Amino acid sequence: MLPEGLADRLRALADRPDGRRLDRDPLGLVRQARDKETAALLGALLAFGNARAIRRSLAIALEAVDAGRPLGRRFRHRWISGTDIDRLLDRAGEARARHGSLEGLFLEGDDGDLGHALDRFAGGLRGPRPGKGLRFLLPRPGDGSACKRPLLFLRWVVRSGGEDLGLWKRVDPARLVVPLDTHVHRIAYWLGLTSRKTPSWRTAIEVTAALREADPADPARFDFALAHMGILGDCPRSPLPSKCRPCPLRPWCRAWA
């Protein structure tokens, strides 16, 4: 059970506009793209590392997509090469040709369990004998991964509220699992939404179950605001009075206590 008052505060935080967020988030670039489904896939799966570097890499990748040219060896985002991205785009193109959209690929493997569906979706995009790059870009719940980046993709394309895109119409937002980046996991732990100190699929399910108490129909609505509390430095890694005193979540924060 969420502590008294926390659900209301979380809803208010999620609904509070903050123009700084999209300026630092890859979703800001995705929203400007012509092919938003492909852009969302790239933006979410490249969302690891420094926020500025993520946006820089995504901008380069989207420029190549628009120009219809491969990235090849001239592109690198940390240890992911342009060849890895080219293979991902080839697999995504094949899936869209076969199913009409990436949503069609997802629904083909959807048995009602989001973890199973995400396993099969990742398998469909990985293809046979995937290389190390594709295995990293497309983790699977069945392997225990928290699957932050695939879940981020689902949030963007399934949800239609706030900043999200609402491209997919046949997946219920109530089924979404919260993508646990380092900021969301840390804040969730401090708020007592999970007792698990490491991110995993079970951790993501536990945090989502807690947030579902605040909004059963849309538990992932809180992800964007919580993540950006960390990205923007409003929630530091260690308690800092100048940041923590004005925090709307301070009364429930174990770190502050």
Angle at 109 between CA 105 and CA 112, to 5 degrees: 125
Counting residues of the chain whose pLDDT is more than 70, the rounded percentage is 100
Domain ranges of the chain: 6-252
Q: Are the CB atoms for 184 and 207 separated by under 8 Å?
A: yes
Give the tens place of pLDDT for each residue, 136-171.
999 999 999 999 999 999 999 999 988 899 999 999
CA distances for 144 relative to 72, 115, 141, 213, 257, angstroms:
31, 10, 5, 24, 32
Give the tens place of pLDDT for each residue, 95-119.
999 999 999 999 999 999 999 999 9
Q: CA 120, CA 146: separation in Å to the nearest integer?
A: 16
**Mean pLDDT confidence for 220-237:** 94
What's the pLDDT at 73? Answer: 85
pLDDT over 90 (residue 241): yes
Q: Are the CB atoms for 76 and 46 separated by under 8 Å?
A: no
Task: Please give the biggest Cα pair distance in the chain.
Answer: 55
CA distances for 136 relative to 48, 80, 102, 132, 208, angstroms:
11, 9, 19, 6, 23
C-alpha 68, offset from chain centre: 26
What's the pLDDT at 22? Answer: 84
pLDDT over 80 (residue 18): no
Burial of 156 (0-12, 13-18, 19+ CB in 10 A): buried
Q: CA 228, CA 232: separation in Å to the nearest integer?
A: 6
**Among candidate residues 133, 166, 140, 234, the one with its CA nearest the CA of residue 27:** 166
Query: 24 falls in which pLDDT band (50, 70, 90)?
Result: confident
What's the pLDDT at 244? Answer: 95
What's the pLDDT at 17? Answer: 79
What's the pLDDT at 95? Answer: 96
- Looking up tokens 């569906």, which residue turns up? 117
**Mean pLDDT confidence for 116-123:** 97
What's the pLDDT at 23? Answer: 84
What's the pLDDT at 257? Answer: 84
Q: CA 147, CA 123: separation in Å to the nearest integer?
A: 13
Q: CA 76, CA 84: separation in Å to the nearest integer?
A: 9
